[in-house]
Amino acid sequence: MKRIFSLLIAGVFFLTWNASGQAKKGKTEVVISPYQLAVDHAFEKCKDIKEGKNADYIKELASVDSNIFGICIVTVDGQVFYKGDLDSRVSIQSISKVFTLARVLEEQGPKAVMDKIGVDATGLRFNSIIAIELQKGKEINPLVNPGAIATTSLVAGADSAAKWKSIIQIQSEFAGRPLDINRPVYISEAGDNLRNQAIAHLLFAYNRMYFDPVQSTDIYTKQCALNVNTRDLATMAATLANGGFNPVTKKKVVSPETAAFTLSVMATAGLYDDSGQWLFAVGLPGKSGVGGGIIAVCPGKFGIAAISPPLNEAGNSVKAQRAIFEVSRELKVNPYLVEPRTK
Ligand code: GLU
Instruction: Report the distance separating Cα 286 and Cα 298, nearest Å.
Output: 9
Rounded to the nearest angstrom, the distance between the alpha carbon of 220 and the centre of ligand 1 is: 9
**From CA 274, how far away is CA 268, in angstroms rounded?**
10
For 249, counting Cβ atoms within 10 Å of its Cβ (0-12 exposed, 13-18 middle, 19+ buried), the class is middle
Q: Give me the phi and psi of 17, to 5 degrees please.
A: -110, 130
Residues 6+ apart with CB under 8 A from 240: 98, 102, 174, 259, 262, 263, 297, 299, 303
What pLDDT shows up at residue 311? 97
pLDDT at 319: 98
* Closest C-alpha to ligand 1, atom 2: 93
265 alpha carbon – ligand 1 mean position (Å): 17
Q: Give distance in angstroms: CA of 145 to centre of ligand 1.
A: 7
Q: Which CATH class, in words, describes the domain spanning 34-331?
A: alpha beta
Atom 4 in ligand 1: residue holding the nearest Cα: 145
Residue 329 is predicted with a pLDDT of 96
Segments of the chain with pLDDT less than 70: 1-26
Residues framing ligand 1 (Cβ under 6 A): 93-94, 126-127, 145, 189, 196, 224, 289-290, 315
What pLDDT is attached to residue 26?
Answer: 61
Backbone CA torsion sign across 106, 112, 116, 122: positive
Task: Supply the pLDDT for residue 25.
Answer: 54
State pTM to two decimals. Answer: 0.90
For 186-224, write each residue's pLDDT tens digit: 999 999 899 999 999 999 999 999 999 999 999 999 999
Alpha carbon of 153 to ligand 1 centroid (Å): 16
Beta bridge partners of 71: 83, 306
Task: Look at residue 124 in the predicted model and tell me its pLDDT.
Answer: 77
74 bridge partner residues = 80, 303
Q: Where do the CATH 3.40.710.10 domains begin and end in the chain?
A: 34-331
Question: What span, in angstroms and rounded, lies between the C-alpha atoms of 145 and 217?
Answer: 10
Q: How far is 165 from 96, CA to CA, in rounded Å?
A: 14
pLDDT at 139: 84
